[in-house]
Chains A and B, each alone.
Chain A
Amino acid sequence: EAQVTQNPRYLITVTGKKLTVTCSQNMNHEYMSWYRQDPGLGLRQIYYSMNVEVTDKGDVPEGYKVSRKEKRNFPLILESPSPNQTSLYFCASSPNTPTSPLHFGNGTRLTVT
């Protein structure tokens, strides 16, 4: 089954404790991206990658890191989480075309206390 797999689904952590949210897709998509969803703001792009070893900042990259060592994986790293990073996070993938919809993971609800 074609899918984007995010883990974990729920995560509660404390300020400053490094964490990684994993994302993997099995559709051989070139494009992968991370979004955060906050009430009233829709989804905002954090980072994206158009292919292996190619990553770039989205609209809200501060406090986040990503890597794209393999085509299928695109982990999101929070080196020192803060309470303002409490949010719902989505990983998404697609081919590199403007006509392609994004395929989303099921989301990770992160709470930073």
Chain B
Amino acid sequence: AQKITQTQPGMFVQEKEAVTLDCTYDTSDPSYGLFWYKQPSSGEMIFLIYQGSYDQQNATEGRYSLNFQKARKSANLVISASQLGDSAMYFCAMREGSTGGFKTIFGAGTRLFVKA
């Protein structure tokens, strides 16, 4: 069954340092997409980065990069040069392609605190 696991309920990082948020997934579908979303304290959900199951290279978007290790079924988010505005909840999500419904499932989330 499809599943997303985020094992870090909370993380602290010093401003300007890099931080890695862990995400592992489980699926039998060969075609899937992996996503990271940010939820600041205001509550909205913001899409950050996408990685496709057939992509050969790790995705990058500005200070965000996705460390995709397909054999290990992991899709960790790396935030470089952390800023105070990065303090938020972060959700890893997976969307399957071959099964019906293009369902997106989410992990429980990691709350990131950036210290000045």
Q: Which residues of A contact B (CB under 8 A)?
A: 31, 33, 35, 40-45, 48, 50, 56, 58-59, 88, 90, 92, 94, 96-104, 106-107, 109
Contact A90 B52 (CB under 8 A): no
Give the CA-CA distance A44 to B4 in the complex, in Å: 12
Q: How many residues of B contact A (CB 8 A)?
A: 28
Contact B106 A97 (CB under 8 A): no
Is chain A's interface secondary structure helix, strand, loop, or mixed overall?
strand
Contact A50 B101 (CB under 8 A): yes
Closest to B31 in A: A98
Residues of A within 8 A of B101 (CB): 48, 50, 56
- Digitize B1-16: 1 where CB-to-A-CB distance is under 8 Å, 0 elsewhere: 0001010010000000
Closest Cβ of chain A to B114, distance in Å, is 21
Contact A102 B97 (CB under 8 A): no
Contact B104 A33 (CB under 8 A): yes
Contact B104 A106 (CB under 8 A): no
Closest to B29 in A: A98
Given contact pairs A48-B101, A50-B101, A101 touches B106 in the complex (Cβ within 8 A): no
